[in-house]
Structure 1
Amino acid sequence: MVGSGRTARLKQIIAVANKYKIVKNITQQTNPDQVREAFEELGPTFIKVGQMMSVRNDIFTLDFTKELRKLQDNVKTDDFAEVKQLVESELELPIEELFNSFDQQPFASASIAQAHHATLKNDERVVVKVQHPGIDKEIETDLSLFEKALPLASWVPESNVVDLKNILKEIRESLSNELDFRKELENAERFYELNNGWKEIRSPKMIDSYSTKKVLSMEFMPGDNLKELVNSPEDELAYPDTTNQELKEKISSLLIDHFMKQVFEDGFFHADPHTGNMLLQFISEEENQQDQDAQDEHYEGKFGPFPFNFDLSSNEPLRPFRLNVIDFGMMGSITKEMQLKMSNVIIAIYSKDTQRIANSVLAICKQTGPFSEQKFNEELDEFLKRYLNMPVKEIDIQKVFSQVVVICHNNNLQIDDSITMLIKAFGTLEGVIEELNPELSLFEVIAPFAQKYFLEQFDLKEELRQTGLDYLTSIKAIPKLPSHSLSVLDTFIKGKAKLNLELKNQGVLLERAEAMVNRLVIGLILSALVIGSSLLVQTSPGGGTFISNLGMFGYGAAAVSILFLVAESLYRRYRKWRDK
């Protein structure tokens, strides 16, 4: 039965792959829309593959990755009897004892799970996310088929540009995390602590006692998908004295401010901030006032000889809407060290200093093979000079990051995984901002945030201390300069000095030098063979003797060798001419 299921799934994959020409389109990076449609048709495993491909700007073109970011789940809903059985099995109680009500029809269905509205025994409205029964086995079947197909992929010439085994390992780990709702629960609880109540941002509270590996329960969050606002008439009033267009501009600024806060303050960010993961909720002025918690700040210190200690309470006025963030399956983390390095990259791009950009990019990379800093700088400089001449407002941060990733990959440099996830999130957010407010430049807005973070992390006292130590070390070394100079001159005079030179492309130069020496040696051997054969022929007593025949054989061998060398030289020139 299991074997027949695997066979049927394999036939389905092959049929869809042929229908949409997946292999050809991926290897040649053409028709990304067909690849997206094929992945959506093939289900959760392939959707996850597509999502992982969408962040690989070092392998795929920007058009390809942008299209794959549009991947949507198109999964049929499960029969309620199966859902009920799984919920009761996971929570170990009959569903009637757990909930006052539980909607049989889900209001949303994605690749891994579907979501139902329900009411707890205390009348609290909740959302229950239930994993599709058997989805874990279906994904495992797909992954095992992938593993068996890996040897066949080696026959596709373009497959050598990626480490397929490593990518399959990443997919397996990622899907394993998504199939365990306890990890999403942890992400959601951390996000709630850091972000719920920040300006107009809200997020649902998780209900731990109603959550397991396959069931996730959370507070119900009201509101409409943010996409509704994107498609709304611009001149229509969203709420008193505010049109939809004005609201779009306000929400654009809020989204950017919030994302910068996640990245540069929390070090923990939502890695998939598309419109489907945000709900826009309008509230009354009375509800708005009640929801504005007082912000308490504590101050203490000394004013001359007099100490002071007091608390200051203030309210930050909020607008009559809330942006409710949901779905925490894809989150990213970034360390303090990497935060500072990323801020350096953004500031460097903003300043348009190519050398500073090169240095800041190198700081977020690790070397994976032979690396030439000169070649890297030349390639990066060529791209930046062509791109950074435009005004700051017109700089497309996603295109810059994508091309930088490609240049790094071509020079055996791998960008830190947290930065790769951050670039993906930047790209998704930029798409949302373009839909809401096309006039707003994401890069122009985030640059000041990076500068602010850099200045906040800048420890003037430590920098002055380090600079002072450097100056003291230099001053201490000054009296020794004359003696060191005399020592160097003395070494040169006595002929003990060695001069080390580093040649560019020395491997190629050595190969060419070796080829020249080989030809010279062959030429000398042939010359010696011709001269020796002539002496043997001339000194032999008469024709037909062994010595005379030996001389003639030498002539023949020399002639054949010369013809071969001439033919090889002509063939080499022909190949060079053809490759031009």
Structure 2
Amino acid sequence: EIKNGQEFYRLNNHQGIFLVPKIYPKYSTQKILVCSAMPGNSIKEFADHPLSKDAAKSVEQKKQRTYLARALVENFIKQVFVDHFFHADPHPGNILFWKIPEFSAHIPEFPYQFPTNLPNYRLIYLDFGMMGHLSPSLADGIANVVLALNTKEPRSIGQALLAICNRTGEVDQEEFYDQLSIFLAPYLNSGLGEIDFSTLIYSVIKLCRQNNLQAKPEVTLLVKAFGLLEGLVAQLDPNLSLMDVARPFGKKYLRQKFNFKHEAEDTLVNLFQAAQSAPKLPIKAEKVLDLLLQGQGRMNIRYKGQDSLLNRVEQLINRLMVTIILAAIILSSSLLVQGSAGHPAIYNIGVTGYLISFVIIILLILDELRRHFKHKK
């Protein structure tokens, strides 16, 4: 927690209206964390405070709340996509709101200087026991999901999601894309400002889990933090669109990731390779036609749900083989029992065959019931 606090202090203290307490490792122990005393009260008290009945004051208070909400979102975006180190528990109890006194002479030793271009209040983060770390590649993957949501193309969104998930089993990507397309349809037909992103993300993670995809732990932690922060932002300004706040960052992010010089070089290389391959196309086409005319051509076709169907066919064949063997055992046992007069050993063999057949039948019935209830669930 000491290291987390020091790193968060370095990255966020005096970033706009944000302050962070300074940690003192020299005076801290395993059970006591010593940091600078911070003024202010929980931002929940400010958010819960009713608006003034005076029209002018009410407008000013609304502007203040909108400013705070935007500042929280912009700072959180910076933590995730610039610092790759974010506060994973930003509930209202861990964020203080402090209005700077008009007469700073009352606090002459307070170690902060206040820029004149900022309002006369600050937000203060506390409690750095739960923090999230993102690798640059994972942060890029999350950014790609957000950008894909902006394109409203389910396949692009699905491909971006696959990049930030671990596979816990076999994944049918086409089936996943189809399910995702149906799920996202009502969201994609809505304006971005109308989407409840925390609910959307939780539902998408649930859909991923149903398709043997598991969100990486860092992503789950990020979703939790985002849900907490969004609840606070919605309380401060219910009309604030998170995408409107994030859009300037998205443009800046794209400019940073898109290197025109490199893209131009890659395009020229691809064009050169295509120009080299173009004269060979007629020869390759002739070879393909010769193979088809000689009957040596082969085409691999894979259809949707192929693996599931093949597994089902295999199960049916196995059941059929078991049934045939079961019928043979019952028939053989019947012949042994019928012809065992005066031969107890042969009679016992026949009875044993009956018992084995009975046990197998019971197991088949139980397995079928299990499949039925599992499918129904």
TM-score category, normalised to shorter length: 0.7 to 0.9
Q: Please, what TM-score do these two structures have when normalized by structure 2?
A: 0.78
Alignment of 1:128-207 (within 5 A): 184-207=1-24
Match of 1:252 in 2: 69
Pick closer, same or farther for the CA change 1:222–1:579 going to 2, 3 Å: closer
Identity of aligned residues (%): 35
CA distance in 1, matches of 2:219, 2:322: 54
Would the aligned equivalents of 1:225 and 1:280 in 2 still touch at CA under 8 Å?
yes
Match of 1:435 in 2: 235
Match of 2:185 among 355, 379, 385: 385
Would the aligned equivalents of 1:224 and 1:281 in 2 still touch at CA under 8 Å?
yes
Would the aligned equivalents of 1:395 and 1:443 in 2 still touch at CA under 8 Å?
no
CA distance in 2, matches of 1:240, 1:503: 65
CA distance in 1, matches of 2:228, 2:20: 19
Return the letter of the residue paired with 2:204. Answer: V
Would the aligned equivalents of 1:273 and 1:429 in 2 still touch at CA under 8 Å?
yes
Pick closer, same or farther for the CA change 1:451–1:401 going to 2, 3 Å: farther
Match of 1:281 in 2: 98
* Higher-strand-fraction structure: 1
Would the aligned equivalents of 1:343 and 1:454 in 2 still touch at CA under 8 Å?
no
- SS of 2:51 mapped into structure 1: coil
CA distance in 1, matches of 2:308, 2:253: 46
Larger RCO, structures 1/2 (Cα 8 Å, 6+ apart):
2
The CA deviation at 1:214 is 1.4
Q: Does 1:464 align with 2:270?
A: no
CA distance in 2, matches of 1:218, 1:512: 63
Alignment of 1:115-126 (within 5 A): none
Return the letter of the residue paired with 1:245. Answer: K
* Alignment RMSD (CA, Å): 3.1
Match of 2:113 in 1: 291
Match of 1:532 in 2: none
Deviations, residues 181-202 of structure 1 (Å, cap 9, x unaligned): xxx1100000111111111100
Q: How many residues align?
A: 326
- SS of 2:33 mapped into structure 1: strand
- SS of 2:35 mapped into structure 1: strand
Return the letter of the residue paired with 2:113. Answer: D
Q: Does 1:419 align with 2:228?
A: no
The CA deviation at 1:342 is 1.4
Match of 1:401 in 2: 201
Match of 1:327 in 2: 127
Would the aligned equivalents of 1:278 and 1:326 in 2 still touch at CA under 8 Å?
yes
Return the letter of the residue paired with 2:150. Answer: Y
Would the aligned equivalents of 1:343 and 1:451 in 2 still touch at CA under 8 Å?
no
Match of 1:495 in 2: 295
CA distance in 2, matches of 1:415, 1:210: 39
CA distance in 2, matches of 1:443, 1:406: 23
Structure 2, unpaired ranges of 5+ = 106-111, 328-360
Pick closer, same or farther for the CA change 1:236–1:504 going to 2, 3 Å: same
CA distance in 2, matches of 1:282, 1:517: 75
Match of 1:476 in 2: 276
Pick closer, same or farther for the CA change 1:440–1:490 going to 2, 3 Å: same
The CA deviation at 1:512 is 5.2
Would the aligned equivalents of 1:206 and 1:217 in 2 still touch at CA under 8 Å?
yes
Pick closer, same or farther for the CA change 1:241–1:387 going to 2, 3 Å: closer
The CA deviation at 1:379 is 0.8
CA distance in 1, matches of 2:42, 2:143: 32
CA distance in 2, matches of 1:232, 1:511: 62
Match of 2:358 in 1: none
Deviations, residues 15-63 of structure 1 (Å, cap 9, x unaligned): xxxxxxxxxxxxxxxxxxxxxxxxxxxxxxxxxxxxxxxxxxxxxxxxx
Q: Please, what TM-score do these two structures have when normalized by structure 1?
A: 0.52
CA distance in 1, matches of 2:18, 2:376: 59
Q: Does 1:364 align with 2:164?
A: yes
Would the aligned equivalents of 2:51 and 2:58 in 1 still touch at CA under 8 Å?
no
- SS of 1:438 mapped into structure 2: coil
Match of 1:83 in 2: none
Deviations, residues 319-339 of structure 1 (Å, cap 9, x unaligned): 101111111111111222222
* Higher-helix-fraction structure: 2
